[in-house]
Amino acid sequence: MAIIEETISQILEGKVKPKKGKFVYHDKPKNARLTLQAITKKTPEVMAKITGFSKGTGHIASHIEYIAREGEEVLENDKGELFKGRENLESAYSDWIKDIESFPKEKSSKTSRDVMHLMLSMPAGTDPEKVRDAARNFAKKAFSENHEYLFALHTDQPHPHVHLAVKMLGFNNKKLDPKKNDIQAWREGFAEELRTLGVAALATRRQARGVVKKATKGAVWQINNNKQPNRNKRTANVTRSQIKEAATELALEAKGERVPDKPWNKAIERRQNEVRQLYKKLSDELDKTGQKEDKKLAQDVRKFLAGMPKEILTQNDEIKRRITQEAVQAKRTATVDKAPER
């Protein structure tokens, strides 16, 4: 039995377990088999993402007014106080502004981070009110001991999400300094609060699900997908660089020249192959127990494994394919255009 739990742990966290961040959220699914079962059933994954930071009082005010939709959405703070309507909006963050303006310059300047913007989201179809309640419970456990915060629920998109603004300077006069592992811990905490409310939710790492690509950063996605009328189509600088890099590599390959090695791509491929081998090992070990429930779980694991992408494609690989497809299509179009009329 111990080998099954250890194998599940290796799938979820890797052979070397990640270092715990400062803000560890201790509530996790207690049963390793239940966690595995939820993964094979493709239970919805929560999202927790830092969308940015406010620097200075003007920036703070504009962002909080944005998440409150100029007073149309209800804002709630760490004390449970509610603010709605344009006339009440400023009172929600006025004390923050006074505090930050009173800080010595070395603690608050134009380059300092005064407020963190955290977005908590669930896929379309999730009960928005439960998303709000889970976010409230999560924020209370994660931040209320040392940090003030405001949050609002947004339902203007198919996926309900909460914008959480956290004042970075704590009551202990120390600043919040979120690390990668803290964000994962927050994902786990938000998922736990949703499960407590009866909403199926997980916060597994993407490698455990056979996902290679990282999610596109919010600001990059907004630039690349801005469809506002009377605006020229824009491409984010980072996306432009990725396309240029992929095009350069395609040109080298076409000439038969060597493309520079990318150690990180080999690491991604190695980790994905390890995960697939671990799932295979796990299904075999579950079969050996002789338990009916374990045999059913072994079947589910094999089905999940079969559904994983056959190719391990990075973002660079996908951009290359897209460039190649567009080039082929352009060539076909040009050929049709040059064809003589009958």
| Rounded distance between C-alpha atoms, residue 84 and residue 76, angstroms | 9
DSSP string, 290-330: --HHHHHHHHHHHHHHHTS-SS---HHHHHHHHHHHHHHHH
Pairing of strands 115-121, 82-83: unpaired
Question: In this structure, are residues 98 and 61 in contact, taking their beta carbons and an 8 Å threshold?
Answer: no
Sequence letter at residue 110: K
Q: In order of start, what are the domains of the chain with their CATH numbers?
A: 43-206 (3.30.930.30), 218-260+312-337 (no CATH)
Token representation of residue 151: 């949050």
Token representation of residue 328: 């082929």
- What's the Cα-to-Cα distance from 19 to each of 16, 77, 177, 192, rounded to whole Å? 9, 31, 15, 20
- Residues contacting 202, CB < 8 A, separation 6+: 35, 38, 39, 43, 44, 45, 46, 191
Which pLDDT belongs to residue 278? 92
Question: In this structure, are residues 183 and 162 in contact, taking their beta carbons and an 8 Å threshold?
Answer: no
> Which residue's entry shows tokens 């502004």?
97
Give the side-chain half-sphere CA count within 13 A for 174: 7
* Residue pLDDT tens, the chain, 342 long: 588 888 888 888 765 454 555 555 544 445 778 888 889 998 999 999 999 898 888 888 888 999 998 888 999 999 999 998 888 888 888 888 888 777 665 554 445 789 999 999 999 999 999 999 999 999 999 999 999 999 999 998 899 999 999 999 899 988 898 988 899 899 999 999 999 999 999 988 888 887 765 665 555 656 666 655 556 677 777 778 878 877 887 887 787 888 877 777 788 788 888 889 999 999 999 999 989 999 999 999 999 999 887 777 777 777 878 888 888 877 777 766 665 654
Answer yes or no: pTM beyond 0.85.
Answer: no
Which pLDDT belongs to residue 330? 79
Instruction: Please state, as a whole number, how many other Cβ atoms lie within 10 Å of the Cβ of residue 180.
Output: 10
Residue 6, burial from CB neighbour count under 10 angstroms (0-12, 13-18, 19+): middle
